[in-house]
Amino acid sequence: MDAGAWDVARQVGSTIVFQMTAAGVAGLQAELAAARSDKDKMLVGFERLRRIFAFIESPAGQPEVAARLGIVSHEVRETSMSEVFVSFAGLQKGADK
């Protein structure tokens, strides 16, 4: 995984949520800007996901990662519409002030 691209955003109980750092976002934006089509951008996203999962799941390459981070299981999930609306409402409240 890209060094400095991820950081712990918060911990809820035993769940640790990672968030992309400013350096990670800048790197991703550069990759997306270099992409020539939507298909290329999609492939950039898939490659990023592949590297994340390879980092977490690789017993040969990173045997201590899961133990050090306490990873028992992991998932990627789609944002629900209710999460989108709550986030949008929060942005609207901030804009109204």
Q: What is the pLDDT of residue 59?
A: 58
Q: What is the pLDDT along the chain (97 residues), one digit of tens a residue?
A: 565 677 777 777 777 777 778 888 888 889 999 999 999 999 998 888 888 777 766 655 555 666 666 666 666 667 788 887 888 788 787 666 5
Q: What is the pLDDT of residue 68?
A: 67
8 to 5, 14, 17, 29, 45: CA distances (angstroms): 11, 13, 6, 21, 21
The helix (H) or strand (E) run that includes residue 18 is strand 15-20
